[in-house]
Structure 1
Amino acid sequence: MITNKKYAIGSLLFSVSFNALATSDVYRFVGHGPISAGMGGAATAFDVGVAGIMTNPATLSLAKSGSQVHVGMDAVFVDISVKNTATGESLDSQDHSNNRGPYVAPQLAYMYRGERFAFGAGAFARGGVGTEYGKNSFLSRATGGLNTGLEVSSRLMTLNIPVAASYDVNERLTIGAAVDAVWQGLNLDLLLGADQVGSLLGSGRARGGLVPVLGGLPDMRGAHLSFTKNQPIASGADAWGMGGRIGLIYKFSKDTIFGAAYSLESSLNDMEGDATLTAIDGVAGQIPLNGKIHVKDFQSPAQFNIGFSHKFDDHWMVAADISRIFWGKAVKDIKVGFVADNGANIDIDLPQDYKDQTALSLGVAYTRGDWTIRGGARFATQALRSETLLAVIPSIPNTFGTLGFSYKLSPASNIDFAWTHSFEEKMRTSSLPTTSAPFEVKHAQDSASIAYVYQF
């Protein structure tokens, strides 16, 4: 649990308040900071400012000498719809609650570049996902068409607070490293039908003292799990942990740079919080149980990047990154443990079995006078499997187009901006235990990233 002191620290770092995050590439933003975002997410082998601490800390040494302050935000506008393919009913994820959408996340950082060393620290949203389906749709109906009037929604947020340094080994080689404090918070309102619960029991994915209690109900129709806080920062369950990355850049020439970086899988404690498990019965009605929730071993994956950049002249520059994101090890199951106030418990393992993902980021920049114009694209393989798709976590877009610019307000300051469009992706599922009714998800979105940078 987050202590009052940690809340105070978090409130200070979140100088730009925000409601929630939404996913861009699974649970991660395409790029961190407007420069990377405008270049299709490429960031491993060129100067993206202090936001480089989130991808390759060695790129800090590409900055100009002196100090740099970065203050900005990301805003994400999500278009998610779900269709029951058996009945034809459809619904959109909308703003049914005050803690979801439009999604806004902070950027706040400082760096100093010396003769051979550079240092940086900041707070950046790593990513997340958010959905809000209300309480009157087919997703809120239990087995047998029983309307429950219970919410179905989600909100996952991950915030990284890195401290980074880089060192010029020689004129060509620079190395860098970062250590992150990581905070993760989750809100979840999820309804499982009786057939889903039965499937989990039959496969050994549901166990504990509450299992025979649920099984003993006269007309068991489902179970609803809820742990949600309608607050800008606090979540129903949360945890702190650690992360980090190492990186290098090698200058083949002043115009051609190679970069490589490896981000470690996070080491987060189990997310914990207060929760309500509601048993739904056709005869006895709804039977709520209050207790504590534990979301176990939910980690951000490791990632390996290699990248190149090349300046053709004073105007044109191109960059490319290839990334391998190791989702397969990080997200096998969503493991949820609930302990009622009376001591009875149930453990549920929702299968996910994500696939490792490969992504290609491409970007081009053109500079003329006080303006730099950027464009890019990102193409990624699909990490989610249709048979384990959850309507509350439809993180399926994997093709993106980006545009951006920088404008010098003065010799010491500039405004950076980027717009990212996530092209619509569709996925269908009809598999137990992830769903009772067959459905199709459509997910597209747009996001804007803006930052003010001051150098001194």
Structure 2
Amino acid sequence: MSHFQRLVLIVLGALGLAGPASATNVFRLEGYGAVSRAMGGTSAAHDTGSAALLANPATLGLGSGGSRLDLGIDLVTTSHLEIENAATGETARSGHRDVASAYYAPQAGYVRRSGALTWGVGAYAGGGLGTEYGKNSFLSRTPGGIDTGLENSSRLLVLHIPLGMSYQVDDRLTVGGAIEAQWTGMNLGLLLGADQVASLIGRNRARGSLVPALAGIPGLEGAHFSFSRSSDVESGADAWGWGGRLGLTYRLSESTRIGAAYGFRSHMDDLEGKARLTAVSSVAGQIALPGRIRIVDFQMPSTLTVGIAHQATENLLLAADVSHVGWKKVMKDIKVRYAADGGGELAVELPQNYRDVTILSLGAAYRIDRWTLRAGASIANQAIPDNTLFGVIPATPTRHLSAGFSYDFGRSNTLDFAYSHALRESLGNASEPNVSSGAPIRSTHAQDNFVLSYTHRF
């Protein structure tokens, strides 16, 4: 990581970044900014402030003239996240340990409008996930009953730094676009039982010179991957890349506007960092092999969103969006490459086979004097097949309810708040290689999301 890139992350940390946001719609937040989040994630055809840079940049032109500065924080709390061993009834609950169960993400944006042209720049967390099951649950126990004391946890953060603009072509049509730097950071602690290792080898999903070395360890009970950093800003494996999106809005009438936006698949370098592979043996104990890890071609998906906003009355705004997210092309496998410091390599491909997701989002906003009250909901299909679920990657919520408000202190200053609740979702998996044959699992996940932001216009 260069000194400049490190400086960027430190500055963002000063803005309030203390960890990643837990997964909502897979690894993506269900809406960007307090306005969109409170209105069910809708954003295609109404003003969402600088958060438009991550949704539909054409809507940058819907704001008032002059400049605006948005500063805020996104807080996600996992109100219920546990993995149940369906065979024994044991549970592993994600909680406050090395990776906290409450996650913070920054929001910052500046937008300037001058005539038909509006431009903006920002820094937003686009999503991620976070789990912490500790070292003493059944997830840290081998099929043979050895309590390894090894961590099972995950932390993923995707950070967007966009620069975008919109241009009002005429009194009906506005077009826009944004290009952005992206940073992805990942921490992981994952124990694979010997039966999972054997399944990966048998399916040609584990290859390399370390395979016969692992297979030859007497009494092999499992293998544990670990790469993490305690810093809230940096991660065990990370990379930079870029992405972008295009959008437009079209005014059908004085009260109705439609919008559309397309976000391109990310172009990230492979995530790299220091790691440790630990072989667990009933004969030799734990054998640690420090080295370096690479997560190959870990990308965020393309998105296509179309929507409509209708000013039903002077005070009431209604909005609806439909989004298609292309998870199938980017999450077929998690591809891991490991090189031990003492020599030897290992290539592992963990099957995921995610489905594409279609999301329906609905929202409403009602203006009363200085207050604007908002509410919304969204629903999506399940991306994760029930035979590829990992306990440390429970990106399962599909249904959200939301509410929020804005309060104008005057023409120049506004406080925005949003609350979003991911309804409880359960998903099971009894299939190797992602679970041990001795421990079919069921994930149950619900969470709460709070957004607080402040806008100053000048």
TM-score range, shorter chain: over 0.9
Deviation string for 1:301-339 (max 9, x for gaps)? Answer: 000000000002221110000000000001110000100
Counterpart-to-counterpart distance in 2, 1:149 and 1:10: 32
Aligned-pair CA distance for 1:365: 0.7
Counterpart-to-counterpart distance in 2, 1:317 and 1:277: 54
Aligned-pair CA distance for 1:143: 2.3
Identity %: 46
Contact 1:20 1:101 in 2 (8 A): no
Counterpart-to-counterpart distance in 2, 1:147 and 1:8: 41
Counterpart-to-counterpart distance in 2, 1:379 and 1:124: 23
Q: Which residue of 2 aligns with 1:8?
A: 7
Counterpart-to-counterpart distance in 1, 2:92 and 2:201: 30
Deviation string for 1:138-193 (max 9, x for gaps)? Answer: 00011211110100000000000000011111111110000010000000000000
1:231 matched to 2:231? The reply is yes
List aligned pairs for 1:82-161, cutoff 5 A.
Answer: 82-97=83-98, 99-161=99-161
The letter for the 1-side match of 2:61 is: S
The letter for the 2-side match of 1:233 is: V
RMSD, matched Cα: 0.8
Counterpart-to-counterpart distance in 1, 2:286 and 2:117: 62
The letter for the 2-side match of 1:427 is: L
Aligned-pair CA distance for 1:11: 1.4
The letter for the 2-side match of 1:237 is: A
List aligned pairs for 1:19-58, cutoff 5 A.
Answer: 19-58=19-58
Counterpart-to-counterpart distance in 1, 2:351 and 2:10: 34
Q: Which residue of 2 aligns with 1:220?
A: 220
Counterpart-to-counterpart distance in 2, 1:161 and 1:20: 15
Deviation string for 1:199-221 (max 9, x for gaps)? Answer: 00000000000000001111111
Aligned-pair CA distance for 1:345: 0.5
Aligned-pair CA distance for 1:253: 1.8
3-state SS of the aligned residue for 2:177?
Answer: strand
Contact 1:163 1:179 in 2 (8 A): yes
Contact 1:13 1:108 in 2 (8 A): no
The letter for the 1-side match of 2:451 is: S
Count, aligned residues: 454
Q: Which residue of 1 aligns with 2:206?
A: 206
Counterpart-to-counterpart distance in 1, 2:367 and 2:70: 21
Deviation string for 1:29-48 (max 9, x for gaps)? Answer: 11100000000000000011
Aligned-pair CA distance for 1:411: 1.4
Q: Which residue of 1 aligns with 2:63?
A: 63
List aligned pairs for 1:237-248, cutoff 5 A.
Answer: 237-248=237-248
Q: Which stretch shows the higher mean deviation, 344-353 or 18-27?
A: 18-27
| Structure 2, unaligned runs of 5 or more | none
Aligned-pair CA distance for 1:368: 1.0
Counterpart-to-counterpart distance in 2, 1:165 and 1:46: 16
Counterpart-to-counterpart distance in 2, 1:339 and 1:143: 26
3-state SS of the aligned residue for 2:409?
Answer: strand
Q: Which residue of 2 aligns with 1:432?
A: 432
| Structure 1, unaligned runs of 5 or more | none
Q: Which residue of 2 aligns with 1:326?
A: 326
Counterpart-to-counterpart distance in 1, 2:174 and 2:254: 13
Contact 2:250 2:259 in 1 (8 A): yes
Contact 1:180 1:244 in 2 (8 A): yes
TM-score after normalising by structure 2: 0.98
Q: Which residue of 1 aligns with 2:340?
A: 340
Aligned-pair CA distance for 1:12: 1.4
Deviation string for 1:33-76 (max 9, x for gaps)? Answer: 00000000000000111111110000000010000000001000
The letter for the 1-side match of 2:12 is: L
Counterpart-to-counterpart distance in 2, 1:18 and 1:4: 20
Contact 2:20 2:127 in 1 (8 A): no
Aligned-pair CA distance for 1:262: 0.2
The letter for the 2-side match of 1:226 is: S
List aligned pairs for 1:285-364, cutoff 5 A.
Answer: 285-364=285-364
3-state SS of the aligned residue for 2:265?
Answer: coil
Which ranges of 4 or more aligned residues in structure 1 deviate by more than 6 Å?
none
1:442 matched to 2:441? The reply is no
